[in-house]
Structure 1
Amino acid sequence: MKSLPAGRPSRWNLNPLFPVFSLLLQYSPQQFGWLRSRWSLELLAINIKSLFNITLPISTLYRYFSRVNIVWRRAAPTLKIPDAEYEEKMAAIKEALSTSSAEYPVFYEDEVDIAFNPKIGADWCLKGQQKRIPIPGQNQKYYLAGSVDARTGKVDYVGGQRKNSDLFISLLEKLKHTYRQAKKLTLILDNYVIHKSCKVQNWLKKNPKFHLLFLPVYSSWLNKIERLWQSLHETVTRNHTC
């Protein structure tokens, strides 16, 4: 005999409404006539009531969202400037990734700022208390240029006092040495000015094995190494006391 799950049986089966919630969350409440810029559980429940004449308790909606991984998460800014070459750029990137190999490696590349003053973030502490993070006051920065092999996940990086063309070229030199057996090295990267400078262009002319594929403009989330930098900040630089 199978035992019953702990707790009261669920009164509501909200799974059929999942596509509705997914659709609502893609839009702003303002597009439905509400004077709010963000959804709340109460407002979502009101919309469900209006659409299906179903009265959902807020607690029920909260538990359901937790179960199906609908989360309250900080939004990210983006610009409404379309890239006329979006499809062409993405096709070239997909083609490079599909043919990636030891002889034709493909990398995601980007730079990151490491601030001497720590990034401040949430941490565990006793209720009623707030953890204090000492800061040196005058901030200084160090910069990393890094790449991650799209096929193997191997990470290479270099550091420097300035985020400029020399830092980027230093990484290219490292990849040139590390992957000297490769016939062609392709880098997927953003449109930051140092990646297109005259100094970099001259270096590329002398090193024809390197090929740069630029992401569509204002599409940094397509660069997989961004996840590595996010992890770096969350686990190392946030609240650091170095």
Structure 2
Amino acid sequence: MAVAAVGRGDSCNAAARALGCATSTVVCAVRRYREAGREALRDRRAGNGHPKVDGQFRQRLERVLAGTPEDWGWCRPTWTRELLCVELQRRGMPRVSVATMGRTLASLGARLKAAKPIVQCPWPAWKRRRRLYVLRCMEAHKPPEEPVLHVDEVDIHLNPKVGRDWCLPGQRRVVVTPGNNQKRFVAGALNVRTGKLTWVEGRSKASTLFIQLLWRIASQYRRARRIHLVLDNAAVHTSKKTRRALAQLGGRIVLHFLPPYCPEGNRIERVWLDLHANVTRNHRCRTMARLMVRVHAYLAARNAQRSASPSLRRADLRRAV
């Protein structure tokens, strides 16, 4: 088409604009046609041989990405595209360019992610799995008059948690921090059967906050014969004040402890993640009072709509502000 356009008298620039390609593409096509005729216009990519990136290449790349560079003998903790090219070549694969490696990673759905720091459970794997299995069986088989709730506490900071947000090219979201950080603490209990959330607010994460939650749970589940709480091994859950409060409640509330450092076994952790995503991340509240109003509004709306991201009406948001 480029050669035909130039043959009709169009300039190379005009032909390139009409075809939506670079002017150099039209110039090269015309030059090849003048030098060797029609045969020079044939697609010559058929002589390139087999593609370097095939199914086997992708499988080995997935196997490499399952570990860290240190697992494969490199003195570096994170992968780069250049290092992946070298590692695949060391494994007998053809050497590819950095751009080709980037396209291959995109085709696999691989992307740069922040690492998740965790503390490993000190229990043996079999003991940890058995404990989690016992707790799941309790949740599944307890009668309705003995509700099972997952309990945990969350920190609310006046300095906002900074997170990603959609922005136009050349723009970046700006979040003004108040400077002097303030904290509030929310203790909550999630009913695993109904999804209902019970929570209290406090100025410190002490036994008093947890005891306040115990009395709130006891008042909301008055008809319950026994209330089972699944929670972690924090000191406030086993303090002397807490044991005295449990005794005052007449043994109606029974504590079941998770294995150490096992947040994935507590369902309420998902609620706190949603709370940060919907309220505290990149927030613009200048006072802790305004922020806590929004926190309570979100938790109340979540209870009402049973949704991780309840849509609050504008009028509600104005009241929260």
Alignment CA distance shift 1:15-1:149 (3 Å): farther
Identity across matched positions, percent: 35
Structure number with the bigger relative contact order (C-alpha 8 A, sep ≥ 6) is: 1
Shift, 1:24, TM fit: 3.8
Q: Which runs of 5+ in 1 are unaligned?
A: 1-10
1:209 and 2:291 correspond: no
1:153-185 Cα shifts (integer Å, max 9, x gaps): 221111111211111111111221222222222
Q: Does 1:73 align with 2:113?
A: yes
Kindly indicate whether residue 256 of structure 2 is the aligned counterpart of residue 222 of structure 1.
no
Letter in 1 for 2:156: I
Structure whose CA Rg is larger: 2
Deviations 1:61-115 (Å, cap 9, x if unpaired)?
223222xxx4432112223452255245323312212214422221111111111
Q: Does 1:175 align with 2:175?
A: no
Aligned to 1:232: 275
Structure 2 match to 1:58:
101
Q: Output aligned runs, 1:1-242, within 5 Å.
A: 14=55, 23-51=63-91, 53=93, 57-66=100-109, 70-80=110-120, 82-84=122-124, 85-207=127-249, 208-242=251-285
Paired AA for residue 232 in structure 2:
D
User: What's the TM-score once normalised by structure 2's chain length?
Assistant: 0.62
2:108 partner SS: helix
Q: Tell me if structure 2 keeps the 8 A contact 1:14–1:64.
A: no
Distance 2:274 2:260 in 1: 23
Q: Aligned equivalents of 1:47 and 1:153: distance in 2?
A: 48
Distance in 1 between residues matched to 2:231 and 2:64, nearest whole Å: 33
Structure 2: any 5+ residue segments left out of the alignment? 1-50, 286-321
Question: Which whole-Å CA distance do the structure 1 matches of 2:183 and 2:160 have between them?
Answer: 11
Task: Give the TM-score normalised by the residue count of structure 1.
Answer: 0.80
Give, in whole Å, the separation in 1 of the partners of 2:275 and 2:269.
10
RMSD of aligned residue pairs (Cα, Å) = 2.7
Letter in 1 for 2:72: F
